[in-house]
Structure 1
């Protein structure tokens, strides 16, 4: 009977907070349909790892000895030792992406780069606020709006805040439809948001589609060698999609592989959401800095579009610049919806998709630059 009460009496107030955090993530996943494939496993995992004396973490139990927990084992093997889970997910993401809208309008490459502005601004701000430089770099990468990149960078840099960073990254990805419209409207006028852009895509040959992922990998490897694993796995997935002879593998990567790894990654990252590591003032600061990075990545893309319009005859709707973040395809859909709201004939989706897929590449490269600089 004493053993039955031992777990209940061991619960701390910090663990109760984590139960609430887990419940909120599950509620967002189910009720609001915000990134359910990730937030639901993360939320449930947050509850699991904070149950006293549970078997999901390594621990020494009286009368039993050393036990090995499944979540801790998955974290050590799939993230800590190899970063395998985030990288494998990139193969699935690459297989899902059609780079055609980007290749037919290469100018959209610039928006992916411009929309990483918030990352480096946040790194500086986090360092000023007292975070060690590797933690500051890991926090800044939240602005990439790409969960696997945030997890990989923070893990490789041995950040003390992998859990809060992962939660912030995926939470803000899920909240793109809420955050981005506010940020966009704050820095654009109604007239700017109503700018119409005709979509006249150039033909993209199969050869170009096949060569693109190979060339991007080589160029990224030469410019930012630390980005090769991120960019390379993303481009490998895309090459499987575009080569035309691996349709079954492409479908597997897009569906079975991506779904399985997403499931494992979501529940595994909860190892970093233990109460003693998560319920701190630093976590609140990280959530605030992550939002800052996300908002200023959006603003950076918008202002870059405005800058181009000073020298361009054919005006660009500044909202397209906001789609340069890596939250694919949510950000492109937000821009399309906002464009129609201003003018029901104003369809910006394909322009925004071009910028959005560029952001996928740019965020991986930015992650590699950060790793190369701070390692």
Structure 2
């Protein structure tokens, strides 16, 4: 009697959500709850972190099947019967490939990540929200944006060294390039490069890139303070010159032409970024400009965040290779921040104290998070200091810089 009851209870547990077989799933559920706490309570970039964390939670709950792939079966071709399915030939016989079981909701939404559709759409929205005026007013900001890409290329080298000297870790050129791009602190760019060069690493690279973007306010300040003196952090910069409407209209057109001619592989990202900005500055397409900077980017961010988080299934995510990617991604981001700050210190010396090195940290392309961090750290030392607009120059230069670096990697290894 009791044997039957015990067996019934065991069956109930096994068919319920409490039947988790792998400890990795429990760990990832705990991680997702921590990220939700940071997003909701600490307000660390909740627009990114909340959907990513919840997607991670959904992916590790058993039996939900939200990321399940479709189940296909072969059906023999019957003469005279025409069906609109792909035909496969095996051993001289023809079969229709039909879907016997559809995939999960997030599986289909994830195709926009996998096929590289979402990143250019995100760039369109970013362009529509971004004012390139500070960059145009101070073209030297391009140098700070370029210096902050240091993390991308040093991490590429680091990944290749791990491949050569650490057993069990295999990072070829394509994998190393995909990991290195995390250093640009630009999630859409990291996804775009990985989808082109190393699709099998898309999950861990996307999670790492977006997580570090969301954690900019935690990661950057200690590096900025370590590499600068109090005197440097207190520097008050001169007000930027006004930028004319004509300059703002010409800029996106000119950048698109120059970058696309030099590096065609960067055109999808840079082109969409500049199209969004041209919509903003032209003043003649208010309806689609407002859609790009609001509804479109919000919808794509939801789809992107949830599906990126859903790739972090504990059974496939917690591997030595994935942990290596997460660690290298953090180092890439730290090196990018350090590169920008150190070049800012160099400009501080050459301009005889007119440039605050803190704005160099904004050269990573987390817009406008990194610029706000520069402002916050600067104001702690000097409450009358306003670095936000000065930091926006390197910040938007970093967006262009990371897209260009992505184009270089795709051109070399794609």
TM-score after normalising by structure 1: 0.93
Pairing partner for 2:113 from 79, 90, 96: 79
Change (3 A) 1:10 1:320: closer
User: Larger Rg: 1 or 2?
Assistant: 2
Structure 1: runs of 5+ lacking an equivalent: none
Change (3 A) 1:6 1:59: farther
2:368·2:392 contact (CA, 8 Å) conserved in 1?
Answer: yes
Change (3 A) 1:309 1:39: closer
Deviations 1:4-35 (A, max 9, x none): 73354353112222212222222221111122
Map of 1:155-174 to 2, 5 A cutoff? 155-174=195-214
Aligned partner of 1:25 in structure 2 is 35
Structure 2: runs of 5+ lacking an equivalent: 1-7, 73-98, 164-170
CA drift of 1:65 comes to: 5.3
Aligned partner of 1:219 in structure 2 is 258
Tell me whether 1:114 sits opposite 2:154 in the alignment: no
Tell me whether 1:45 sits opposite 2:84 in the alignment: no
Q: Please say which of residues 311-320 and 102-111 is displaced more in the overlay.
A: 311-320
Aligned partner of 1:16 in structure 2 is 26
2:29·2:56 contact (CA, 8 Å) conserved in 1?
Answer: yes
SS across alignment from 2:101: strand
Q: Please say which of residues 145-154 and 344-353 is displaced more in the overlay.
A: 344-353
CA drift of 1:148 comes to: 0.8
Following the alignment from structure 2 to structure 1, what is the Cα–Cα distance between the partners of residues 397 and 141?
7
Following the alignment from structure 1 to structure 2, what is the Cα–Cα distance between the partners of residues 30 and 121?
34
Change (3 A) 1:51 1:314: closer
Pairing partner for 2:405 from 345, 361, 366: 366
TM-score after normalising by structure 2: 0.84
Tell me whether 1:92 sits opposite 2:117 in the alignment: no
CA RMSD, 1 decimal? 2.0
Aligned partner of 1:178 in structure 2 is 218
SS across alignment from 2:151: helix
Deviations 1:197-225 (A, max 9, x none): 111x2232222111111111111112222
2:52·2:310 contact (CA, 8 Å) conserved in 1?
Answer: no
Following the alignment from structure 2 to structure 1, what is the Cα–Cα distance between the partners of residues 279 and 228?
39
Aligned partner of 2:95 in structure 1 is none
Deviations 1:30-69 (A, max 9, x none): 11112222222222222222333323212659xx953321
CA drift of 1:321 comes to: 1.2
Following the alignment from structure 2 to structure 1, what is the Cα–Cα distance between the partners of residues 375 and 58?
39
Following the alignment from structure 2 to structure 1, what is the Cα–Cα distance between the partners of residues 71 and 34?
31
1:224·1:368 contact (CA, 8 Å) conserved in 2?
Answer: yes
Following the alignment from structure 1 to structure 2, what is the Cα–Cα distance between the partners of residues 221 and 68?
38
CA drift of 1:296 comes to: 1.0
Tell me whether 1:5 sits opposite 2:14 in the alignment: yes
1:109·1:358 contact (CA, 8 Å) conserved in 2?
Answer: yes
SS across alignment from 1:328: coil
CA drift of 1:3 comes to: 7.0
